[in-house]
Amino acid sequence: MAAAPQFVLDSSIALAWCFADENDACADAIAAQFPSIEAFVPSLWPLEIANVLLLGERRGRSTQADTAHWTSFL
């Protein structure tokens, strides 16, 4: 059995899934590849994601429930 393709997932791609106004074709194409691809993230990635999700809440772009959903999903 062949190994799944691997790549480094940038936070900007993952965050495009979280905010409707950030969504784009590239992010959608990557999301469509899961679970047949294996993603790796940099060590600071969880902090980047948490920071942007919190800022989204503070700026009214998302709710606390949205943040909880994406935090558990990602």
Q: What is the pLDDT of residues 44-71, one digit of tens each?
A: 999 999 999 999 999 999 999 999 999 8
Q: Kindly state whether residue 55 falls inside one of the protein's structural domains.
A: yes
Q: Kindly state whether residue 1 falls inside one of the protein's structural domains.
A: no
Closest C-alpha to 15, from 44, 39, 46: 46
Number of structural domains, the chain? 1
CATH number of the domain enclosing 48: 3.40.50.1010
Q: Kindly state whether residue 35 falls inside one of the protein's structural domains.
A: yes
- 44-to-26, 31, 58, 63, 67 alpha-carbon distances in Å: 22, 21, 21, 23, 18
Name the pLDDT band for 73 (thresholds 50, 70, 90): confident
Q: What is the pLDDT of residue 1?
A: 61
Q: Kindly state whether residue 20 falls inside one of the protein's structural domains.
A: yes
- The reported pTM is 0.81
Q: Kindly state whether residue 50 falls inside one of the protein's structural domains.
A: yes
Q: Kindly state whether residue 33 falls inside one of the protein's structural domains.
A: yes
Q: Kindly state whether residue 44 falls inside one of the protein's structural domains.
A: yes
User: Which range of residues forms the domain containing residue 49?
Assistant: 6-73
